[in-house]
């Protein structure tokens, strides 16, 4: 059974749709791009922002960096709190904590914002570490985040580690680091996206995730 669990944040522990999409909309507006449909910005949830601005709005490197600065203008004060914990997640974390599991957050979101969000919702005490990206644009790729989180563990059995996430980046990052991964479809990655990335397991709900991870 798994004793070290790495959790993605957005789309796995919390639902950040309103905060992320409105901040992306704000940033695009500052770049002269009008996007009235927030649902079109849902793909921004999960992947690194640089990737998304370049992929979906064809910004170059400098433009993407400027868009991220605009995004953070709003996100750092308002957007990070436009968020909600998925139902049953606190109970899942409590059950895993009670069994002595080592819980770590591994997210492409900057560490500073991730800590603030988890503190805001009273979930930070469940985690031994909260590992995210750096504000200077380094350690943004999921495989880099996971690699860093694992490097901080010291001695451990790789077969006892699992990543939990809702997007292909979580799955591919885990596989690149040689650990198991479970995809969750209640987040923002479609089942098709997850299946194409070939995780070890796929679950539909937090309750199903609990049945999979909690012993007994």
pLDDT at 184: 98
Nearest to 146 by CA among 1, 8, 3: 8
Residue listed under structure tokens 């001695």: 155
Task: Please state, in angstroms and rounded to a whole number, the distance separating the CA atoms of residues 73 and 71.
Answer: 5
| Three-class SS of 54-97 | HHHHCCCHHHHHHHHHHHHHHHCCCHHHCCEECCCHHHHHHHHH
* pLDDT tens track for 114-147: 999 999 999 999 999 999 999 998 999 999 999 9
* pLDDT tens track for 173-211: 999 999 999 999 999 999 999 999 999 999 999 999 999
* pLDDT tens track for 81-103: 999 999 999 999 999 999 999 99
- Strand-strand pairing, 84-85 and 14-15: antiparallel
* pLDDT tens track for 39-66: 999 999 989 999 999 999 999 999 999 9
Which domains does the chain carry? 4-15+83-213 (3.40.50.1000), 17-81 (1.10.150.240)
Q: What is the value of pTM for the model shown?
A: 0.94
Say whether 191 sits in a helix, a strand or coil. Answer: helix
Q: Within 10 A of 78 (CB to CB), how many other CB atoms are there?
A: 13
pLDDT at 72: 97
Task: Please state, in angstroms and rounded to a whole number, the distance separating the CA atoms of residues 85 and 15.
Answer: 6
Which two structure tokens, joined as six digits, stand for 161? 């580690």
**216 has a pLDDT exceeding 90:** no
Which residues are known catalytic residues?
A: 8
């Amino acid at each position: 059974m798994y004793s070290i669990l790495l959790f993605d944040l957005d789309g796995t522990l919390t639902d950040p749709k309103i905060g992320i999409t409105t901040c992306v909309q704000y940033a695009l507006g500052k770049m002269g791009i009008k996007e009235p449909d927030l649902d079109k910005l849902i793909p921004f949830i999960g992947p690194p922002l640089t990737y998304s601005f370049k992929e979906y709005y064809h910004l170059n490197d400098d433009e993407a960096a400027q868009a991220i600065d605009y995004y953070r203008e709003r996100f750092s004060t308002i957007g990070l709190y436009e968020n909600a914990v998925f139902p049953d997640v606190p109970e899942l974390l409590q059950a895993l904590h009670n069994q002595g599991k080592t819980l770590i957050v591994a997210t492409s979101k900057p560490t500073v914002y991730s800590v603030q969000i988890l503190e805001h919702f009273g979930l930070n005490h469940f985690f031994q570490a909260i590992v995210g990206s750096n504000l200077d644009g380094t350690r943004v790729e999921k495989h880099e985040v996971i690699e860093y989180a694992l490097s901080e563990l010291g001695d451990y059995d790789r077969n006892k580690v699992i990543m939990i996430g809702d997007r292909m980046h979580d799955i591919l990052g885990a596989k690149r680091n040689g650990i198991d991964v479970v995809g969750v479809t209640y987040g923002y990655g479609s089942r098709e996206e997850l299946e194409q990335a070939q995780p070890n397991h796929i679950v539909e709900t937090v309750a199903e995730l609990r049945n999979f991870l909690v012993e007994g």
